[in-house]
Structure 1
Amino acid sequence: MSSRTAARTTHGTTSAGFEYTFPAIRGVQAGREFYTSMCPLRLIPRIFLFDDEELAPEVRAQRVLNKGRLPSLARYLLDNPDDYVFSALTASVDGDIQFDAMTDQGMGMRVGQIRIPMDARFVINDGQHRRAAIELALSERPELGDETIAVVFFHDAGLERCQQMFADLNRHAVRPARSIGVLYDHRDPQAGLARLLSLRCTVFKGYVDMERSTLSAKSGKLFTLSSIYNANHALLRDLDLPGEEACDLAQRYWEAVDTLIPEWGMVRRRDLLAREVRKDFIHSHGLALHALGRVGNTLLRESTDEAVWASRLKPVGDVDWSRTNTDWEGRAIVGGRVSKSHQNTVLTTNYLRRHLELSLSTEEQQLEDAYLRGEV
């Protein structure tokens, strides 16, 4: 059982004869009782102690902790003390669980408290990164320890059962589309800017899918909210502008780009269908918007005077954006599909820089040389 997470007292002494007591609600799934409770945050690191990272995958019940995720999770908790949300942890208990109901009949039979010996072992089936982030946040702000998190306790039926629970809990987990994450994010100023531009900028208004990050073949939209977010993030990088000023500058930039890409206007005038433009051209894809944002950032950092950067931008109108342009093969299109990888974004940016007579950064030049040698 060395793959399990042991419960110990805070001073490391024996815990025989002592118990954890939690208020709980009793439920049943697949014929097995489980208990939903609330635990103070300060108790979470004491109960769930990791000791299995060096074990082979087949003899532990969890994936190895990805420590790279912890700083952002802890920072989320620390930066939003009045507005954070952490979902429940799921744990199995290798030890006795005694449930004491409030009453012997009726609804009171489901409500009461659970008592768990302190020498029982706890296995986190879901939530190990939340648990580790809580510990990290508590080291900086101990007062968070008085807050609580929901924990769902199951009886531990052995390693195989715990592994199966982990598989089942993650089997149908689907990460939400990036676009809807941007739509619902009210903390990130860049997300707010993307939403605002999609509603008021002539280029985007009415042609942005606010939920999906990949458009279906028959979609009547030209852009996704996530692609606008990424493009604006690249466009405004290091410019350090106030919110409204940044939004105004971004709007003017994209409307200037719009004058150089006639197909976008043709869709708004109903002369072309959005799906036809996406099928025949790459300029409405996230890759191209991101590349346009990167070159725009270079122009804006040189001068925010619209007369200057708009004049420098004009060669974009000479770019052949059609998919039939063989220059895009391996640069923007891989295997017949537009690729959104970082490598292809840089190579597409390089192509635009060449048209605008802009120099390449060291990274861009290295990747360009490798592309020209046929190594990427």
Structure 2
Amino acid sequence: MRTSLQATFRVPATRGRMGNTTYYTTSLRFGIVVKVFVYDPEDMPALPPEDRTQRELKKRRVPEIAEYILGHDDYIFSAVTVSVDVNSFEFESVEPGSDIGVLHLPPDADYIVNDGQHRIAGIAQALREDPTLANDSISVVLLPDGGTQRSQQIFSDLNRTVHKTSKSLDILYDHRLPINQITMDCVDAVQLFQGRTDKERVSLSVRNQNFATLSGIQRANTQLLGDIPEGADDADISAARDYAIDFWNRLTQVVSPWPEIAAGTKTPAEARQDYLSSYTLVLWALGRVGASLREQGIDLSALDALAEVDWRKSNSEWEGICVLGQSIITRTSTRDATGELLKYKLGLRPDAPAAVLDTETS
């Protein structure tokens, strides 16, 4: 993924050091970035893995990044990292010994994008739709190019320490998506969730004292409310929020042993020992049930019939639906089947769903 500059650039930059590596940091406008770091993504798959300096471009990510840029007045990217032959550029300090100065980038230098190929491709697509973005800028870190093996090592080192944040933290910190804010409002307003929601983890151990994870509640709300896009009407968002809060509060009164958990007389860890209802799978399934009620205009009082459901894991009705022997099986098929069984219990479908698990092998 090497390219050559088409013009000479002199850009303000700072010099730094990490270990034995001297690097330079500058800022380049989008219009320059897409001209400087041009490459053909079709070239990379043609090379054997050992000769590549990057992963293959995942084309589906490019429009996602472009939409992120085009859809927000306020957006932000981390710096892209590029390697260049150390003999091909010059750093001119503002004064002797200073790490602040001007970087001279010659027209015949070859550049390797070590990190940020998807960002650059997304920026290029966004510019084709909105050329006025050409004056926006992104930080660029330039490293000395030591050949293919060095570039491969840089790529490995850059990704070695990267740790993706959990889905729960993504929800907690992403204030743009309406479903995230609705979920946070539910956590604050629904007694069952108050003080019993893990906002960092995506799963709970059997002994965890929280009732659910933030990501689990968000996924359930997504089933309940469907897709609510950014920029949705405030009235629609408010109505969806009110429905979700009313829905979970109503269920707290009728799904055993949720009333005891909400009252503090039974801990979520104790409930998970015996009850299926204390697993995220059921939250997701109940979200599906609520969506059906909402679509059909059925009052939430219909949920009261769920008080008659035997939510214990030992109830044979769950076998083959989401329970196999002593194990609770969480898959898309078992979540769907659980939701369909609950709809049957509420008279929303004429017959019970068929088992989706092979009970003969349990």
TM-score, normalising length from structure 1?
Answer: 0.85
One-letter code aligned to 2:57: L
Deviation digits for residues 226-274 of structure 1 (CA, Å, limit 9, x no counterpart): 1111111211227996222222221221122222213122123332222
Q: What is the match of residue 202 of structure 2?
A: 213
Alpha-carbon distance between aligned partners in 1 of 2:307 and 2:325, rounded to the nearest angstrom: 26
Matched, 1:230 2:222: no
Q: CA deviation at 1:318?
A: 3.4
Q: CA deviation at 1:342?
A: 2.5
Q: 1:178 to 1:283 in 2, by over 3 A?
A: same
One-letter code aligned to 2:4: A
Q: 1:194 to 1:238 in 2, by over 3 A?
A: closer
One-letter code aligned to 2:247: Y
SS at match of 2:257: helix
Alpha-carbon distance between aligned partners in 2 of 1:337 and 1:154, rounded to the nearest angstrom: 52
Among 323, 332, 335, the residue aligned to 1:342: 332
Alpha-carbon distance between aligned partners in 2 of 1:322 and 1:50, rounded to the nearest angstrom: 58
The question of whether the paired residues in 1 share the 8 Å contact of 2:285 and 2:338 is answered with: yes
Among 247, 257, 261, the residue aligned to 1:267: 261
Alpha-carbon distance between aligned partners in 1 of 2:267 and 2:200, rounded to the nearest angstrom: 20
Alpha-carbon distance between aligned partners in 1 of 2:334 and 2:315, rounded to the nearest angstrom: 16
Q: CA deviation at 1:157?
A: 0.3
Alpha-carbon distance between aligned partners in 1 of 2:24 and 2:284, rounded to the nearest angstrom: 48
Alpha-carbon distance between aligned partners in 2 of 1:64 and 1:178, rounded to the nearest angstrom: 25
Matched, 1:87 2:87: no
In the TM superposition, structure 1's runs of 4+ consecutive aligned residues that sit over 6 Å from their partners are 238-241, 372-375
Paired residues for 1:305-324 under 5 Å: 306=299, 309-311=300-302, 313-324=303-314
Q: CA deviation at 1:167?
A: 1.1
The question of whether the paired residues in 1 share the 8 Å contact of 2:81 and 2:115 is answered with: yes
Matched, 1:355 2:350: no
Q: What is the match of residue 136 of structure 1?
A: 125
Q: CA deviation at 1:359?
A: 3.7
The question of whether the paired residues in 2 share the 8 Å contact of 1:97 and 1:155 is answered with: no
One-letter code aligned to 1:256: R
Alpha-carbon distance between aligned partners in 2 of 1:296 and 1:101, rounded to the nearest angstrom: 65
Matched, 1:168 2:162: no
Deviation digits for residues 188-236 of structure 1 (CA, Å, limit 9, x no counterpart): 1111111111101223222212222222444321011111111112112
Q: What is the match of residue 241 of structure 2?
A: 247
Alpha-carbon distance between aligned partners in 1 of 2:266 and 2:356, rounded to the nearest angstrom: 38
Alpha-carbon distance between aligned partners in 1 of 2:153 and 2:236, rounded to the nearest angstrom: 51
Q: 1:33 to 1:344 in 2, by over 3 A?
A: same
Q: What is the match of residue 38 of structure 2?
A: 49
The question of whether the paired residues in 1 share the 8 Å contact of 2:9 and 2:104 is answered with: yes
SS at match of 1:91: strand
Q: CA deviation at 1:47?
A: 1.5
RMSD value, Cα: 2.7
Percent identity of equivalent pairs: 33
Matched, 1:6 2:10: no
Structure 1: stretches of 5+ with no match in the other structure: 10-17
Q: 1:99 to 1:330 in 2, by over 3 A?
A: farther
Alpha-carbon distance between aligned partners in 2 of 1:301 and 1:253, rounded to the nearest angstrom: 14
TM-score, normalising length from structure 2?
Answer: 0.88
SS at match of 1:242: helix
Q: What is the match of residue 14 of structure 1?
A: none
Matched, 1:303 2:293: no
Alpha-carbon distance between aligned partners in 2 of 1:315 and 1:302, rounded to the nearest angstrom: 17
Alpha-carbon distance between aligned partners in 2 of 1:80 and 1:374, rounded to the nearest angstrom: 53
Q: 1:153 to 1:271 in 2, by over 3 A?
A: same
Q: CA deviation at 1:372?
A: 6.8
Paired residues for 1:176-195 under 5 Å: 176-195=165-184
Q: What is the match of residue 190 of structure 2?
A: 201
The question of whether the paired residues in 2 share the 8 Å contact of 1:100 and 1:113 is answered with: yes
One-letter code aligned to 1:116: L
Q: What is the total number of aligned residue pairs between the two structures?
A: 351
